[in-house]
Structure 1
Amino acid sequence: MALINKLQRARDVVRRQLGRWLFDRTRERPADEDKSKVVLLRWDAKLGDSIVSSWVAREIHKAQPEREVWVVTTSGMAPLFRDYFGVDRVIEIAKRPSYGELKQLAHRLGRVSYLVHLSKLLKMKDIYFLNQVDACHVAGIDDALTCIDIKLGARTAGRHFADKFAELLLAMGITSPDTRYIIPARPEWDVALAQWWPADQAVIAFNPYGNGRARRLRPASIIAMLNIMLARGAQSICLLFPPGLAQEAMACKASVTDPSRLLLSPESPSLGGLFTQIRHSVGLVSVDTATVHIAAGLSVPVLGLYNPDLGGGSENFDEWHPNQPDATVLFSTASEMQDINSLDMQAFEHSFTTWVASSVNPPH
């Protein structure tokens, strides 16, 4: 597996170099005289990324109401942008579009005032697409590319991704934007939750399922942590789980010391259910950055569980940490490879106990 990863990285390097040679060049750009549309390329965005940028269209419309904001994203994230984040138009695209599809998309966009692609090392197809769009400005954090004239990489190094978007808006002449996230809510979601959520008991949400094996807790770790939380806190615990893991969640419930205080949603997992469960919780313990960002947007106290960056440094954490000043963070102890299951349980017990006392049940 290590050899395959190394070969894939080498292939990507060669493709990127070829893409720069073929497509990355300076070109005359039209003036932004008619204040045309802003196009955000979010085709690589997942749930957490989408939440972090949820406020951008709102703030552009507030400061420059004559502009439209378009988003290019995948079908999975399109409903969020279309129904909740206030964008004017959502264009859905396949995860791996062909060059022909990218060329058609560029033609479909027409004149663009600001084309925005905040990914670190753009691939060959990304560079090709930037070359094809009739854009007054191209903004990005891949400062090495000639085609990007609004270079935000060095300018925003070490800052949270929400701050990177704020810097983009500053380049557009928009100062002091409100960067609070938009977390969707619907009355019917609250009605469904009320059917099983305790009305007289505070609840802490716990998400042990991160994206990828390195950030997913194994059942033995989940049970051990649940027992600690049940013993050290008076609250009930809602165990969050993704599609396909209901049986594992039920097995964990059957194995804890006090299953009566462990809540499992009887509904199939959904984004609406996830947003609502966190909204009604008094705190969140999570290995997953997406749910951390949701909690941050709702001002729900967070105990975030993270792997340290391999090779030292803290670049990934600096960019995706809980974007709230009073969040508590605990890192796993693995040094050779990332594995959230290497969390020190005594350290977790201490962090959880302190966090509950200071954030979930703050002294009056």
Structure 2
Amino acid sequence: MYRKIRAKIKEFERKIGKLILDKSKKENNIKFESIKKILFIRYDGKIGDYMVSSFVYREIKKQRPDIQIDVVGISKNESLFLKNKNVDNFFRLKKTKYRYLSPLGKKLKASNYDVLIDPTEVLKNKDLFFIRKINAKINYGYAKENYKIFNRNIEQNSDHMQVVYKKILESLGFRNIEISYDIPEDEDSDRKVTEYLKKHNVKGLIAVNLFGAGKTRKFNQEKSLELLKKLGESYPEYRMILLDSPRDREELNKVIEAADGILYYDKSETIFDSIAIIKKSEIVISPDTSIVHIGVGLNKKVTAFYSRNKENFDKWGIDEKNKVIRYDKDINEIDFNKENI
């Protein structure tokens, strides 16, 4: 009962906030050659989304190296953008609260951005507040048909998010866009992982990630061991290495203790360590879309686990050359005896 009441209050607050903050913005048909500064709002912090959209920054600079590309993000994706040679400035929000959004919005307004791009499908009042503060000439969104503040928009559709990003660039005047992922690398991570694998005399390697973002996308200990046993039987000539998951280390340690001969790079600290491991692997197994898309971007053989939610898969799925295993409500329902891992 409490949750239902709270949800209704939140919905009412959003409606009131939208009435106050979502004001019509003048249409601006800025010419391609006149675009000088673009700001991306990326404080959702989703690493998988970064990978899917990573080509955008490269393609802008390829055709218009003079355009300044800035990004607003949080600490979770900061290292990725700082490594991206095509991003000029990264502005980190400590927290997505009004007291942090307001001064940063005022600062960004002084930059006079030509284009602001925010592909987030669901906006909160504070997001509208922040976008109004920045006051770019063009506010470009996706699925923002019901928002007045966006004067350019790609209507909601079933296209993959790669295609959505491509359409945004095309409508701004960019052509011949290559949508292959631009996976970041770190030399220090590469060196340390190479030394670790050499120490363990690894020839063929399978990178296994056991945990997705939601509870229903995490393998429990029993299912994890079942998966590892199945992989060991199917690929006896390969070694398996478990990828780190900081939020799930307690469960991960239980699996490591119970499994025989499984590698785990315990010095893993950042996403770049996982990227370095995946680079050295031939096969990638994961229910987490960030790891899945890194594997795809590095041209690995990927086995991914997705729910049967068609809308989600259309947006964030992978192509048919990879292996996709679907489940209904919980990933632990999967019967590995019936699946060709």
TM-score, length-normalised on structure 1? 0.85
The amino acid of 1:178's aligned partner reads: E
Counterpart Cα distance in 1 of 2:2 and 2:48: 28
Q: Structure 1's 90 and 341: CA in aligned 2 closer, same or farther, altered over 3 A?
A: same
Deviation, structure 1 residue 325: 4.2
1:135 aligned residue: 136
Q: Structure 1's 4 and 287: CA in aligned 2 closer, same or farther, altered over 3 A?
A: farther
What are the ranges of 5 or more consecutive residues in structure 1 without an aligned counterpart? 353-364
1:361 aligned residue: none
Counterpart Cα distance in 2 of 1:308 and 1:4: 30
Q: Does 1:255 align with 2:258?
A: yes
The amino acid of 2:104's aligned partner reads: L
Cα offsets for 1:252-300 (capped at 9, x unmatched): 24433xx23x211131342221011111111111111110011111011
Counterpart Cα distance in 2 of 1:250 and 1:125: 39
Q: Structure 1's 301 and 130: CA in aligned 2 closer, same or farther, altered over 3 A?
A: same
Q: Does 1:341 align with 2:332?
A: yes
Taking the TM superposition and a 5 Å limit, the aligned residue runs for 1:67-216 are 67-84=67-84, 86-98=86-98, 100-109=99-108, 110=110, 111-141=112-142, 142-154=144-156, 157-197=157-197, 198-199=200-201, 201-216=203-218
* Count of residue pairs the alignment pairs up: 333
The amino acid of 1:255's aligned partner reads: A
Cα offsets for 1:74-114 (capped at 9, x unmatched): 0221121122252111111133221x543332321231111
1:359 aligned residue: none
Counterpart Cα distance in 2 of 1:91 and 1:107: 13
Deviation, structure 1 residue 246: 4.7
Deviation, structure 1 residue 192: 1.0
Q: Structure 1's 176 and 351: CA in aligned 2 closer, same or farther, altered over 3 A?
A: farther
Greater relative contact order: 1 or 2 (C-alpha under 8 angstroms, separation 6 or more)?
A: 2
The amino acid of 2:328's aligned partner reads: T
Deviation, structure 1 residue 45: 2.7
Q: Structure 1's 291 and 28: CA in aligned 2 closer, same or farther, altered over 3 A?
A: same
SS in 2 for 1:211: coil
Deviation, structure 1 residue 168: 0.9
2:287 aligned residue: 287
Deviation, structure 1 residue 331: 1.3
Cα offsets for 1:36-60 (capped at 9, x unmatched): 3111000113211122222211111
Match of 1:236 among 236, 239, 251: 239
Counterpart Cα distance in 1 of 2:145 and 2:181: 27
Counterpart Cα distance in 2 of 1:321 and 1:8: 33
Match of 2:221 among 219, 224, 234: 219
1:65 aligned residue: 65
- Provide the aligned C-alpha RMSD in A: 2.1
Counterpart Cα distance in 1 of 2:267 and 2:133: 45
Counterpart Cα distance in 2 of 1:268 and 1:101: 31
Deviation, structure 1 residue 227: 0.6
Taking the TM superposition and a 5 Å limit, the aligned residue runs for 1:47-66 are 47-66=47-66
The amino acid of 1:221's aligned partner reads: K
Counterpart Cα distance in 2 of 1:243 and 1:121: 27
SS in 1 for 2:137: strand
Residue identity (%):
24
SS in 1 for 2:115: strand
Counterpart Cα distance in 1 of 2:22 and 2:55: 31
Q: 1:19, 1:128 within 8 Å by CA — same for their partners in 2?
A: no
Q: Structure 1's 32 and 206: CA in aligned 2 closer, same or farther, altered over 3 A?
A: same
Q: Does 1:332 align with 2:330?
A: no
Counterpart Cα distance in 2 of 1:200 and 1:58: 34
The amino acid of 2:66's aligned partner reads: E
Deviation, structure 1 residue 351: 2.1
Deviation, structure 1 residue 5: 4.7
Deviation, structure 1 residue 31: 6.4
SS in 2 for 1:151: strand
Counterpart Cα distance in 1 of 2:153 and 2:119: 10
Q: Structure 1's 199 and 150: CA in aligned 2 closer, same or farther, altered over 3 A?
A: farther
Q: Structure 1's 245 and 23: CA in aligned 2 closer, same or farther, altered over 3 A?
A: closer
Cα offsets for 1:126-164 (capped at 9, x unmatched): 12222232221111122210111211133xx11121211
Q: Structure 1's 121 and 243: CA in aligned 2 closer, same or farther, altered over 3 A?
A: closer
TM-score, length-normalised on structure 2? 0.90
Q: Structure 1's 15 and 266: CA in aligned 2 closer, same or farther, altered over 3 A?
A: same
Q: 2:242, 2:263 within 8 Å by CA — same for their partners in 1?
A: yes
Counterpart Cα distance in 2 of 1:187 and 1:132: 39
Counterpart Cα distance in 1 of 2:218 and 2:196: 26
Counterpart Cα distance in 1 of 2:264 and 2:121: 38
Counterpart Cα distance in 1 of 2:231 and 2:6: 41
Match of 2:8 among 5, 10, 13: 10
Counterpart Cα distance in 1 of 2:176 and 2:5: 44
Q: Structure 1's 233 and 4: CA in aligned 2 closer, same or farther, altered over 3 A?
A: farther
Q: Structure 1's 5 and 294: CA in aligned 2 closer, same or farther, altered over 3 A?
A: farther
